[in-house]
Structure 1
Amino acid sequence: MERVRLGEVELAYEVVGSGEPVVLVHGGLIASFFAPLLGEPALTERFQLINYHRIGYGESSRAPGPVDLADQAEQTRGLLAHLGIDRAHVVGHSSGGLIALQLALQAPSLVASLALLEPSLPVPSSAVLAERTIMPMFQRYQNGDKAGTVDAFLAGVCGQDYRASIDRGLPEGAFDQAVQDVDTFITVEAPSVGPWSFSQAEATRITAPVLAIVGERSGEVTAVAVEAHALLKEWFPEAESYVLPRATHLLQVENPSDLAITLADFAARHVDKSHFL
């Protein structure tokens, strides 16, 4: 991967394909979450995919201190500026979806379209998830069990059979890398997601077309994704909605082909062609 320095931060990134730019903002724990899409011709033959490791994950530098979602949105913007891109389609997964929403607030002219893959929004079932998954996860971390911390979280949000999916669908060593990056997840990611605020008022400020995607099987694991999907449709009445077949929260890992086709079709229908000439 290539690297760009943005102040104290160094981000690792790669560019795959050609055409209009699409930036992929991954969720927490696994820096290679979007790797399966990089091999999908439906996207790479029509779009330039910018895949990067967020601060503290994968090959990017560790966080020099507290980093909130606004900071991370600005880092995404800085990466695009480095690449000479002043308008892009934005795809955000899980907590990356929150960064995508924040980017659309901070830099509306930058966002040509916004695809949100089960963003980790606070919903009524979040309290159940906290009790069943988040609290046990923190307990394992406090006990020094980093692998157990990763396992507790991924099993709780992606299902008990998540490991087979990531071993099959992600680059070798993805789980081990997540164990290495779990300090970032616990000490940087969690504190930044909790205070983040977004409501109908902020949603009305976003003018980019929105695509809300939820996994067909996500509700079998936790109600959070389904409730968040409904909330997005409430916030964005004109948003397009798509249920990805045969997928849990591991959307792009379990069904990258259908997801790639859906993302490509959505982006292609929402292009300011004069801007990309």
Structure 2
Amino acid sequence: MDTVTVNGIRLEYEIRGSGEPVLLISPVIADGFLPLVAEPALAGRHQLIRYHKRGWGGSTHTPGPVTVADHAADAIALLDRLGIGRVHVAGHSSGAAVAAQLAQDHCDRIATVSLLELSLLSVPAGAAFFEQVAPAFRAYAEGDAERAVQLFMPVVGGMDRDRCLTLLDERVPGSVAQAVKDADTFFGVELPALAEWRFGPDQAAAIRRPVLSVLGSDTRPLWVEVAAFLRSNVPDLEECVVDGVGHLLHMERSPAVAGAMARFLERHPIAS
């Protein structure tokens, strides 16, 4: 990946394809969008920009707190350095939180927002989610980052441990090992920031750009509730449900997710 220095930190990034730019923002699996950027429906029509947020991969690791707004500021600074004006933005899970924040903070720069199962922990199901992943937090607190990741990801993905870890490493080789390396960022910085992030009805209503909400049909109650929240509060919302998948939808069925995003982007070009 290439690197650029913004806001006093180094960010790794990669650009593929040509056409209208789409900024892709990942959560715990730093390279989780790799299966999606390989899909012709997107890669054949758009300039796809993916990057490692601060604290992930080879990007600069800074001590917390690092807020969702900080990540949004880094993203816009990256676009500035790349000479990109208006852009489509897409994020998965906690990366979707950064995408939503960008749409609030930099409305003039954002053409559309694609939210792949936005993680919003303030909905009622958030408390139950924290209970489900508590063993992973305990493992991390005990100094076992590998076990923490191996406990966390299957709960999030809604599948058994072996199937989840196999899927991750098949779709993005080395992704589980990298998530272990990034565990201090995820458990110590990212999740606390996400828990403190405020995105209520007023913030959702302030997004004045077309928004695509993508949900897996077999996902956890947390993301079902978040989808309902978005449906009730985002002014210009379109929805897509991908059959037979959970929270790792863009890795499980990347052609279906890429197709849904491509159709959405075609309906809302930057030039319009």
TM-score range, shorter chain: over 0.9
Residue aligning to 1:199:
200
Rounded Cα–Cα distance in structure 2 between residues aligned with 1:196 and 1:65: 14
Question: What is the CA deviation profile of residues 23-46 of structure 1, one whole-angstrom value per residue up to 9, with x for unaligned ones?
Answer: 00111x210110001211111111
Residue 251 in 1 paired to residue 249 in 2? yes
CA positional deviation for 1:273:
1.7
Are residue 120 (structure 1) and residue 119 (structure 2) matched? yes
Match in the other structure for 1:26? 26
Query: Distance between the aligned counterparts of 2:208 and 2:60, measured in 1?
Result: 33
TM-score normalised by structure 2 residue count: 0.95
Question: Residue in 1 aligned with 2:211?
Answer: 210
Matched residue, 1:187: 188
Same amino acid, percent of matched pairs: 41
Taking the aligned partners of 2:236 and 2:82, their CA distance within structure 1 comes to 31
Q: Aligned runs of 1:64-103 on 2, under 5 Å?
A: 64-103=63-102
Partner of 1:169: 171
- RMSD between superposed Cα atoms in Å: 1.2
Deviation at 1:102, TM superposition (A): 0.6
Would the aligned equivalents of 2:11 and 2:54 in 1 still touch at CA under 8 Å? yes
C-alpha displacement at 1:64, in angstroms?
4.5
1:186-236 per-residue CA deviation (whole Å, 9 max, x = no partner) reads 111022111111111112221110000101221xxx211111111111112
3-state secondary structure, aligned to 1:194: helix
Counterpart CA distance in 2 for 1:128 and 1:266 is 32
Q: Distance in 1 between matches of 2:201 and 2:223?
A: 18
- 8 Å contact kept, 1:118–1:229: yes
Deviations 1:160-198 (A, max 9, x none): 23112112211x211000000000011110221111111
SS of structure 2 residue aligned to 1:163: helix
1:237 Cα offset (Å): 4.7
Deviations 1:225-258 (A, max 9, x none): 1111111111125311100122211111101111
What letter matches 2:26 in structure 1?
H
The answer to whether the Cα contact below 8 Å between 1:8 and 1:64 also exists between their aligned partners in 2 is no
| 2:229 pairs with 1:231 | yes
Paired residue secondary structure (2:196): coil
Please list every run of 5 or more consecutive structure 1 residues that lacks an aligned counterpart in the other structure: none
Distance 1:200 1:267 in 2: 25
TM-score scaled by structure 1?
Answer: 0.94
SS at match of 1:58: coil
Amino acid in structure 2 at the alignment position of 1:128: A
Q: Secondary structure in 2 aligned to 1:138?
A: helix
User: Within 2, Cα distance between the matches of 1:238 and 1:178?
Assistant: 34
Count of residue pairs the alignment pairs up: 268
Contact preservation (8 Å) 2:2, 2:14: yes
1:94 and 1:77 mapped to 2: Cα distance? Answer: 19
Give the distance between the partners of 1:214 and 1:185, measured in 2 at CA. 23
Q: Which amino acid aligns with 2:17?
A: G
Q: Return the letter of the residue paired with 1:202.
A: Q
What is the rounded CA distance, in whole Å, between the counterparts of 1:204 and 1:237 in structure 2?
Answer: 6
SS at match of 1:91: strand
Query: CA separation in 2, counterparts of 1:31 and 1:75?
Result: 16
Tell me the residue number matched to 1:263: 261
How much does 1:8 deviate? Answer: 2.3
- Contact 2:18/2:47 (<8 A) preserved: yes
Task: Map 1:137-176 onto structure 2 (within 5 A).
Answer: 137-159=136-158, 160=160, 161-170=163-172, 172-176=173-177
In the alignment, is the contact (CA less than 8 A) between 2:13 and 2:51 conserved in 1?
A: yes
Alignment deviations for residues 107-149 of structure 1 (CA, whole Å, 9 cap, x no partner):
001110000000111221111111121x222110111111111
**Does the Cα contact within 8 Å between 1:30 and 1:175 map onto a contact in 2?**
yes
TM-superposed CA distance for 1:7, in Å, is: 2.9
Paired with 2:155 and 2:5, the residues of 1 have a C-alpha distance of 35
Residue by residue, what CA displacement relative to the aligned partner does 1:75-119 show, whole Å, maximum 9, x if unpaired?
000111111111100001000111111111110011100000001
Q: Structure 1 segments of 4 or more deviating over 2 A?
A: none
